[in-house]
Every structure is written in C-alpha cells, then in structure tokens.
Structure 1
Amino acid sequence: MTFTAEHTPADIVKTFPQASDLFKKHRIDFCCGGGKPLKETFNERHLDEEAILSELNHAFTEWNKQDHDIIDWEQVPLSKLVNHIIDTHHAYLKQELPALGEFVTKIFRVHGTNNPHLRELHRVYNEFKVEMEEHSIKEENEVFPLIKKYEEEPSEQLLQQIRDANGELEGEHDVTGDFLKKMRDITNGFEPPMEACGSYRMTYARLAELEDMTFQHIHLENNILFKRL
C-alpha cells in the first residue's frame, strides 16, 4: 500500500510502527491528535507534503522487505492489551519517573544558575510526573478492571461506564501531551548545550526516551484500546 495525505498518523503507525520515528522528527502528533488526516497537519504547519510522504513511503517499502513479528493489537483479547500496557508502559513509568526526576533536580541544582531554563524544566517535569502517576493508578484501579469485566460479562451499561471513563482518560492524555511539548521546547528538542556534562546529556537522552515511550503508551490507549470499545 501507499500512504497518502488522507491517511491519519494513528492509522499509519498501526500499520507501520516505525513511522512514529518520522512523525516525531517532524513533530507530527500520532497519539493525542493522531486521528485527523495528515493533509490537515501539512496545511496547518506548512510542511512539505510531497517530501514527507516520499520519505514515509520509502521507509515503509524498505521495512516491508524485512521479516517482522508484530502483534496485531486490534485482534488480541482486550485483557491481553491491558496487561501489555500495565506490564510494559506502567512498569516503565514506575521505575523511570522517580529515577529521572533525581537527575532533573540534580542538573537544575548544579547548572541552573547558568542555564535558567532548567528551573522551568524542573517544574514541568514534576507536574508531568504527578499527572502520569495519578493517571496510571486510575487506570489500574478503576478503568482496566472494568474492561476486563466487560470482556467476560459484556453489557451495554458496563460499556457506557467504560466509555465515560475513557473520555476522562483521553482528556488527561491531552494534558500529558502538552507537558511533553513544553519539555521538548524548553530543552530545544532534548539537545544539551555544547558544554554540558555527562549527567546533563544523560538526563536529556532519558527525557527523549520518556517522550517516545509515552507517545507509544497513549497511542495504544487512544487509537486502539479505547477505539475498540
């Protein structure tokens, strides 16, 4: 197949997961706002439609030449998808958020005087951390058990309850996306200054990884799990 400007980033990433790298490079949203056609983003952002589609389709062609063992999350049981989100993405957040927070604090304390943007990074990161921790707890304690129950005992009443909860979660995803955009802007795309020390550089690299994991996390929920319900 060939991707066109009428395709949405969310659908493209479902078919071609590595497209997320290209979308990140061009700052094209494929998770929270991934449901609108690429053409709208091209027009709004004045991006080179022909060049980006050519790059995307070339990468897809090369990717198709290889063997891939990809799980079709559209087809697996809902409980398996929920467990994957918990075991992969929530587990990552539980380990990474406190550890990375210590480094964000460290570089602010050591380098904040000469790099005043690190004060803002420290503030935004900690707001993001609290938001993601509370969000994950809500999913694991309230919403995901409802989804598993629905899979075993489907009912219209339970489905509506889940849809209402999912709407709240999508709103929280939008807030999360805004925090990530702020951190990317504050850090100049997670590019440390030339004179940055090892801790400074490692912190920015881990922030970039956190962004990537969070985008994948939100994509699985917004564009696959919630859509299936």
Structure 2
Amino acid sequence: MNTFTAEHTPASIVKTFPQASDLFKKHTIDFCCGGDKPLKESFKDQNLPEEEILTELNTAYKEWKKEDHDIIDWDAVPLSKLVDHITNTHHAYLEQELPALGEFVTKIFRVHGARHPHLKELHRLYNEFKVEMEEHTIKEDNEVFPLIKEYEKNPSDELLQKIRVANGDLEDEHDATGDLIKQMRSITNGFEIPVDACGSYRMTYARLAELEENTFQHIHLENNILFKRL
C-alpha cells in the first residue's frame, strides 16, 4: 500500500520525505509556492503520469526509510530557531552567491550571447531575481523576523495580526521570485549545458541549478512551515 497518494500535497510530502523535492523538481511539480494543493491537481494540470510518479515516489521513500536520517521536525522547534536557520542558511547563502553568480551570468551573455540569444533573457531574469531576493531578505531580517521573535517571547493578538499581514506580502514576493527562477529553468531547457559550452558556461548553469534548489527549499520552509505556524 502506498504511503503517499494523489490526495497528499507536495509540501506535506517534502516535510516527511525531504528527498522528494528532487523528484518534484524533475517533474516540475511545485512544492514551495504552490505546494499546498493536492498532487492530483498537478497531475491533471500538467498532464503527468500519475501512477508512474506515485510509484517512483513511494519506492524511493521505502528505500530512504531503510537508512538512518537525522531529520529536524521544523513544526516542533522554537520559532526563533527556525528563523535563525533560514537566516544563517538561506539568507547567508544568497548574500554571498547572488553578486558572484551575477558576474558569471553577465560574462557568458557578453561572450556567448551572439550565438545563444536566450542568454540575453537569462541575464534580465537573473538580475530581476537578484534585486527581488535582496530586497526580500532585507525586509525579513530587519522587519518581519524580529517581530516573530518578539511574538515568541511576548505573544499578543495585535502582534500576531501584524506578522500575518507582513507574511501575506512575503508570500506574494515568493510567488514572484519563484516564477522568475522557473522562467530561468525554462529558457535554459532545465539548465542543460550546450555542447559548445566553455568552463564558465558550465559553472554558471551548475550554480543556477544550485540556486534554484536553495530557493525552493527556502520558500518551502517559510510558506509551508514558518508562516503556517503563525
């Protein structure tokens, strides 16, 4: 009997089985911004093979369960610990990676843009994503996360309502940045490296794929765990 069915949401599955995010990414199933709708909707909307994917998912989960895993139950840890994890893991990564990767995105556009016209659009999308994420993380670090930590110490209905309003804006921003990185994946054919790619080209695509993974995990932690708890 399958553990996961088409009635489960991608977000709930990833909370139980984190490696499911790899499978969902492979099949372009959203587990972060749109992760709270049942799998059956993704199967229908994207015309995906339901039985095949569910079999793959449940087989991988059974194999994964045979191993020892140190999984953190983010629904149970203090809110301040979850906020610190997001800041120290995802925000710190973006602070270092966004400027550095941006230089490579610009470089391959300058060198290869004439032969690979999609690099012009990639350059535009990346820089829009970079600005959005920088402004987003600053807002979280300076405004929203301190409110959450204060609420944990001194809970009140007034403070909770203020946080919920702020979180609504953040979720809208998540949708926007999630769409941008999905567009980057689409125009690069899943970050598929061209046969004539140089070392910089290959490294840029590899780092974009890593950025995508980090971003989806980041949004998942906020939308489907942190904000839901509030």
Is 41-50 or 83-92 further displaced after alignment?
Answer: 41-50
Q: TM-score, normalised by structure 2?
A: 0.99
| CA deviation profile, 1:137-163 (whole Å, cap 9, x unmatched) | 000000000000000000000000000
Partner of 1:116: 117
Partner of 1:45: 46
Partner of 1:18: 19
Partner of 1:62: 63
Q: 1:186: how far off?
A: 1.2
Look up the equivalent residue of 2:103 and give its one-letter code.
E
Separation of aligned partners in 2, 1:173 and 1:46: 25
Q: 1:86: how far off?
A: 0.2
Q: 1:46: how far off?
A: 1.0
SS in 2 for 1:39: helix
Partner of 1:75: 76
Separation of aligned partners in 1, 2:221 and 2:79: 12
Separation of aligned partners in 2, 1:111 and 1:4: 45
Look up the equivalent residue of 1:96 and give its one-letter code.
E
Residue correspondence of structure 1 range 1-229 to structure 2 within 5 A: 2-229=3-230
Look up the equivalent residue of 2:155 and give its one-letter code.
P
| CA deviation profile, 1:34-64 (whole Å, cap 9, x unmatched) | 0000011111111110000000000000000
| CA deviation profile, 1:50-107 (whole Å, cap 9, x unmatched) | 0000000000000000000111100000000000000000000000000000000000
Q: 1:122: how far off?
A: 0.4
Aligned-pair identity (%): 79
Runs of at least 4 residues off by over 2 Å: none
Separation of aligned partners in 1, 2:175 and 2:21: 18
Look up the equivalent residue of 2:15 and give its one-letter code.
K
Separation of aligned partners in 1, 2:178 and 2:92: 19
For structure 1, the residue ranges without an aligned partner over 5 or more in a row are none
Separation of aligned partners in 2, 1:149 and 1:175: 28
SS in 1 for 2:8: coil
